[in-house]
Amino acid sequence: MTRPGNAPSGAAPDVMVGGFVLLLGVLALWQTSTIPASPIYAQVGPKAVPYVVGAGLLALGAALLATALRGGWSHTLEEVQEAPPTNWRALGLLLAGLATNLVLIGPFGFSAAATVQFVLVAAAFGSRRLLRDLALALVLTLVVWFGFVQVLGVNIGAGLLEGLVLRALGLDAIE
């Protein structure tokens, strides 16, 4: 999309990056100002370093913005010049997979949610064999769940699928 040698039109995304960092600095400074004064005596209070970090982000954001307004840096990146156009289908499916996971993991547990996510992510990267992905995802997520819970000892409650497998194996749910 960027025409070669045409810096200003290619710099709009860079301006947004500079603006984002600037905003982050403002956010940090605002949060710092809300830190209550410490009741405990200390040579350096809890606010000093947050102020430095906030001010630093503000300065870096301003510098990035200045660079962006003078043409930006994106057009100097080889990876950006050679980049294929944005793949909205892939990105959309992937984000849909993440969102579905967020919604499902609470009510149905890890394996069920992660299975749906797996199928959507595989589809995002061009897989067309839905059923095979589904089978693969079921096995993988269950193996991963049992691995993390039994071997690594991570406490992740058994959801729908994990409960079914536990019952089939005649084990008690670990709660």
Binding to another protein (CB under 8 A) within 46-75 occurs at 46, 49-50, 53-54, 56-57, 60-61, 63-64, 67, 73-74
Query: Are the CB atoms for 81 and 108 separated by under 8 Å?
Result: no
Q: Give the span between the Cα atoms of 82 and 72, in whole angstroms.
A: 17
In the complex, minimum distance from the CB of residue 80 to another protein, in angstroms, rounded to a whole number: 7
Regarding 1 and contact with another protein (CB under 8 A), the answer is: no
Instruction: Provide, rounded to whole angstroms, the least separation between the CB of residue 11 and another protein.
Output: 12
**Which one among 7, 15, 17, 166 touches another protein, defined by CB under 8 A?**
17
Contacting range for another protein; rule: CB under 8 A; set: 1-9, 103-111, 160-168: 103-111
| Rounded Cα distance, 104 and 116, in Å | 9
Out of 8, 157, 167, 174, the only residue in the binding site for another protein (CB under 8 A) is 157
Rounded to the nearest 10°, the torsion over CA 100, 155, 150, 148 is 40
d(CA 3, CA 16): 19
Q: Which of residues 107-146 bind another protein (CB under 8 A)?
A: 110, 113-114, 117-119, 121-127, 133, 136-137, 140-141, 144-145
Q: What proportions of the chain, in percent to the nearest 5, are helix, strand and coil?
A: 70, 0, 30
